[in-house]
Structure 1
Amino acid sequence: MCIIFVAVEQHKDYPLIIAANRDEFYQRPTQPSHWWDAPETILAGKDLQAGGSWMGVHRNGDIAALTNIRNPAREQTQARSRGELVVNYLSRTISEAQFEQQLSDSREAYNGYNLLYGNVTRLQVYNNHTNHFTPLATGFHGLSNSALNTPWPKVRRGVTRLQEYISSATTLNKDALFNLLQDNTPAAQHELPDTGVPLEWEQRLSSIFIASPEYGTRSSTLLLINHRREVTWIEQEYEHGKKVAQPREFQWKIVQE
């Protein structure tokens, strides 16, 4: 399902800060973040079942990340894998306008999704249920399993915590950002959204960090880009709610093509 928090032009050193969780069934095979095969231009984790990804970045600074839209009534059993959209954007040889037309033309082939895409100076979200493109304005944003900035409790909580931290942080501390992503506080029952899943599942899915017997947060990712166009990508993996090994960290500088 996933959740993504974004700060656009909110820190003196980092015009873009993205903090995201990937939530998935534990049995689904996954490869952690790595540079994909030659030419090594895409950094992303890989879904080994369908071949796509949930979040990635190109060496040139292009970014793509995906969240599902939770709406069981509209689920298709034969839909295409949404993870291919992240890869399609990062590996495209067509213009962004042409890519956006493809998104619109193919939207019925996929179950519900939001695609966050762009670069450090221009990000937007495409929602295939509404067929709407929303630019991310300067400020703080939260994207879960509904439209951008839908005020679900965990979205409000994460955006508020990110805003409070960044407003007081002279230098960014990755542990503080990971702590935000590891917040397992559930929503009160009266605050739960009604998305069409059983109440038990609404409760399970109501926290930023999810840990249940068969489904939960599989990884947390930080993507930071500073004013010198230096990129930092850090990924922490989890198994059944517990950290796995040390975080994977990648750094490089965006070079204008």
Structure 2
Amino acid sequence: MCVLALAWAADSRWQLVLIGNRDELHARPAAPLDRWSDRPQIIAGRDLEAGGTWLGISEERRFAVVTNVANPGGPQPGKASRGALIADLLSGDGAYANPTESDLDDFNPFNVIAVDAGTARLLTNRPSAERHRLDPGIYGLSNNGAFDDNWPKTERVKALLHDWLDGNGRDQGALLDALRADDAPQVEPARARHSPIFIRNPVYGTRCSTVVAVDRQGYGSIVERRYDPDGETTGETRFEFDWNARI
């Protein structure tokens, strides 16, 4: 993901609500939100180039999302796939299912929020490798800065989520519409701090918006709305799940 807001245990009805946009090269192949045939407990989109994902849920009470951290020198070749880290966290197996702080240095810069069995944690390797538990609250992430930095677009997404929770907290379609409303072409790197939530660009732009909502009883939904290079909607997929079913 490139910008997101997460409400964790911050509302009387909702245990978790996540909203965010994924920006990526339009030429990079990806499968839409679906249940994975090789790991059927996972519901996520899939990067068809590296095989991992940017965000997903597992019916085994897991959730994970990653934002890449911008690196002026570009990604370092030979590093492990950050999408594979998310896949392992969701499945609960694999080399990075329970990564140590030293494991986090295997990757190019990132921030991850992961939920497992009722605990939310931040995992990051910038400015140093660390992992710590998240208290109840509303948090923001973008690929422009560190965890919960007050970048303007991050603050706008947090405000969208805060207002939704303060309202009736029911119409998830309204969240998807709001993620589309702050719309502009990509800006040059020197002005990245003021980039929009939603980016229209024929080469690199917003590929999808996602909303995840899990209530206090463990019933949840994940919905993904996808876009073409012109910013037009190309499809929408929704799954419902029950985190109590596999306990």
Global fold match (TM > 0.5): yes
Map 1:145-224 onto structure 2 (within 5 A).
145=143, 146-167=145-166, 169-184=167-182, 198-199=189-190, 202=192, 206-224=195-213
Displacement, 1:179?
Answer: 2.3
Counterpart amino acid of residue 110 in structure 2? Y
Displacement, 1:52?
Answer: 0.7
Structure 1 partner of 2:47: 47
Structure 1 partner of 2:139: 141
Whether the 8 Å contact between 1:120 and 1:225 is mirrored in structure 2 is: no
Secondary structure, counterpart of 1:181 in structure 2: helix
Match of 1:242 among 232, 243, 246: 232
Displacement, 1:84?
Answer: 0.5
Map 1:81-96 onto structure 2 (within 5 A).
81-93=81-93
Structure 2 residue runs without a partner (length 5+): none
Indicate the larger mover: 213-222 or 111-120.
Answer: 111-120
Whether the 8 Å contact between 2:105 and 2:129 is mirrored in structure 1 is: no
Counterpart amino acid of residue 212 in structure 2? L
Distance 1:69 1:39, change over 3 A: closer
Displacement, 1:20?
Answer: 1.8
Give per-residue Cα distances to partners, 1:110-147, cap 9 Å, x unaligned: 21111111147321111112212232221211011222
Structure 1 residue runs without a partner (length 5+): 190-196
TM-score (norm 1): 0.85
Match of 2:220 among 231, 246, 256: 231
Q: What is the distance in 1 between the residues matched to 2:31 and 2:240?
A: 19
Whether the 8 Å contact between 1:9 and 1:138 is mirrored in structure 2 is: yes
Distance 1:90 1:184, change over 3 A: same
Whether the 8 Å contact between 1:7 and 1:16 is mirrored in structure 2 is: yes
% identical aligned pairs: 28
Displacement, 1:9?
Answer: 2.6
Distance 1:54 1:95, change over 3 A: closer
Whether the 8 Å contact between 1:17 and 1:222 is mirrored in structure 2 is: yes
Displacement, 1:92?
Answer: 2.5
TM-score (norm 2): 0.88
Secondary structure, counterpart of 1:77 in structure 2: coil
**Considering only aligned residues, what root-mean-square deviation do their CA atoms show, in Å?**
2.4
Distance 1:94 1:50, change over 3 A: closer
Q: How many residues align?
A: 241
